Chains A and B, each alone.
Chain A
Amino acid sequence: MQLVLEKRAERSTIIALVSPVIAIGLTIVTMSILFMIIGKNPIAALNVYFITPLTDAYSLQELAVKAAPLVMIAIGLSLCYLANVWNIGAEGQFLVGAVAGSWLAVKTNGTDAGVWVLPAMLLLGAIAGALYALIPALCKVRFGASEILVSLMLVYVADLLLDYLVRGPWRDPKGFNFPTTAEFDPVATVPLLFEGGRLHLGAVIALVIVVAAAVLLGRTIKGFEIRVVGAAPRAARFGGFSSNQLVLLTFAISGALAGLAGIIEVAGPVGHLQPGISPGYGFTAIIVAFLGRLNPVGILIAGLFLALTFIGGEQAQIAMKIPLDITKVFQGILLFYVLACDSLILYRIKLIMPQRKVADGAA
């Protein structure tokens, strides 16, 4: 007897709808077993992970703070992935955006520069991210270099650039040689939405970007072009769409969004430039993009959901002394099931009974 995956003639719409539900169900079952093994009450644990963070205003704000950069980056990445080009270096574009915007904040620090500083910083961040993303795109278009490798490698370059700047030229003169710039002035800081919380304007910007992407993909010719080039490159060529131009465009957009997310993070929750400003947002966003099925609204939900597991994981550490490693296992299992169940949209599981053949064993 044998289990095989057989390709479906067409996507199963029913499975597409129920697959996330199945995935979450399987995760809950698996995690419950794991919680029982380590001697924790599974219902209480699941409650801490999924429900407690949704029950007070403070956690809800934190959820949005954590999800905002993930969603912004993932939206950009989804455009690339839909067009079948692979930007893996959003982390680098995030950092370069943060660096470029911070340049202005550092230069105007302590001066009486006006309210134009923050908008200019955001613009600089987006432009720098876009330019940085255009490097792998141009290498691909011009020389046929793998955009996956080039964009990935540029992450390390960006990381070291940031490192150099905060340890050398931009170091806070009053910071005892610690690798950080001075705290940004209020005009260089992303405003908070509510007093006493951390929710900032970046969350609103992320929402605007989600809507803009939904309009772009659903209602414009450019969006249609992106989908066609990705899904049927030959047909796109016949249609007169230039795939090279699209590589440049999608990379530039995703770089700009990652760069914008970077400068918002630095000018928002962090408040100064330092190494370690990104706990891997650029890479986590790849997961968010696929978890959201490359759909803007899906990405919004996926970003919030992933943020929920981070914040729930922290509360589980505090409230139930569940180790951080369990949270990581939790996230891993969830992604595993989501992706596994998604394969059922295109494939079906088939049981093949063994058939006795004369030729058996002849070899």
Chain B
Amino acid sequence: MNRKALAAAALLLATGLGLGAAVAADKLKVGFVYIGPVGDFGWTYQHEVGRQMIVKEFGDKIETTYLENVSEGPDSERSIEQLARAGNQLIFTTSFGYMDPTLKVAKRNPKVMFEHATGFKRDKNMSSYSGRFFEGRYIQGLIAAKMSKKGVLGYIGSFPIPEVISGINATMLAAQKINPDIKIKIIWVNTWFDPGKEADAAKALLDQGADVIMQHTDSPAAMQVASERGALAFGQDSDMIKFGPKTQLTAVTNNWGPYYVERVKAALDGTWKSEDTWAGLKEKMVVMAPYTNMPDDVKKMAMDTEAAIIAGTLKPFKCPILGQDGKEVECKGGDALDPGQVLGMNFYVKGIDDKIPGK
């Protein structure tokens, strides 16, 4: 009896909710799919900061929803579809592995606008966007070479995908400007987030003689290890200064807010189009954390370099670039590598004594 009553009440409520939704239909509903938990730092947190920025910017004009911890396996297509079916008109899917699922859902929901982060597939109603993170890596390479006493840098790689490879190359090209004999040790941990593995990698790199640690992974574990061992390190995705107040030199942080504001505005104005966005320091999608724990001259060099990249007078992948075999890499973009070469980068530059896994 009670359960019947409950069901009846629920049904009543459901119709009530339905009516409520209809009344509020002129709000733009914006959905987000996150790979990790929201947390306090890291990749997903930076997207969440972006979501909060659009909430602040547009207030009552929009309604946002997010799904967190959505794995890149078979579940993600359903999660994205559920957001579309719940009436979200603009959906941001914020991890590479959502690319094919997003594309499938986009084809089924031609009236919904999709935005996929860090991928390369697009459709009429699916944009892609990513950051020129290598610009920040270039600055880090300069700082690292200046600050390293032993001339050995340690690099924790996640997956050997072009974004990570281009980060390593940018670091190395910059570091060689300061110290032509600089060495780089690379450890692949095959994960974006695993504090245990990241800490182990950091320890191994320090044991191999590195005294500046850089990472393309998400947790502050390496920062903490470097801190304990008196080495220096760079944060990643978020400013990790609180995990290494005497250790962090700077961090390449992701700032998605301005892009999200722009895209939501376009959707509200009816001017949204499928686009491919690749923004860097200039557009403030990539932002350097404050330069700390370094002498003033190094700090000044970093700030000047940042200004030069923003002004367009300095290009991290300026030709000529030599591959590992010492041969010059074809230069398709005039005086620098063209975007396609960077987005599909699958080679190391000269001076990196390592092999890309699986190549």
Contact = CB atoms under 8 A, between A and B. Distances in A.
Interface of A: 28, 41, 43-44, 46-47, 51-52, 55, 58, 62, 65-66, 163, 167-168, 171, 176-179, 183, 196, 198, 265, 268-272, 274, 276-279, 310-311, 314-315, 317-319, 321, 323-324
21 contacts: A43-B13, A44-B10, A46-B10, A47-B11, A58-B81, A58-B85, A65-B78, A66-B78, A168-B357, A176-B161, A177-B356, A178-B97, A178-B161, A274-B72, A276-B72, A279-B71, A279-B74, A279-B75, A317-B65, A317-B67, A318-B65
B73 A44 contact: no
Given A167-B358, A177-B346, A318-B65, A62 B78 contact: yes
Interface residues of B, number: 45
Contact of B69 (A65, A167, A274, A324): A324
Nearest to A269: B74
Contact of B13 (A44, A62, A314, A318): A44
Contacts of A277: 73-74
Interface in B1-40: 6-7, 9-11, 13-14, 17, 31, 37
A51 B11 CA distance: 8
B100 interface: yes
A178 B85 CA distance: 29
Nearest to A175: B161
Nearest to A313: B67
A46 B5 CA distance: 13
Contacts of A168: 357-358
B68 A47 contact: no
Interface in B300-344: 343-344
Given A279-B73, A279-B75, A321-B65, A52 B14 contact: yes
B155 to A, nearest CB: 16
B83 interface: yes
Given A47-B13, A324-B69, 6 more contacts: A51-B11, A58-B85, A62-B81, A274-B72, A276-B72, A323-B68
A27 to B, nearest CB: 13
Contacts of A274: 72-73, 97
A65 B10 CA distance: 26
A311 B31 CA distance: 17
A47 B14 contact: yes
Interface string B73-87: 111011101110110
Contact of B100 (A183, A279, A324): A183
Contacts of A167: 190, 357-358
B150 interface: no
Nearest to B31: A318
B73 A171 contact: no
Contact of A51 (B10, B31, B86, B160): B10
Give the top 9 A-B pairs by smallest Cβ distance, nearest first. Answer: A47-B10, A269-B74, A276-B73, A168-B358, A318-B86, A177-B161, A270-B74, A177-B160, A277-B73
Contact of A314 (B71, B79, B160, B356): B79
Given A51-B7, A279-B71, A318-B65, A163 B190 contact: yes
A211 to B, nearest CB: 25
B162 A318 contact: no
Contacts of B78: 62, 65-66, 198, 311, 314
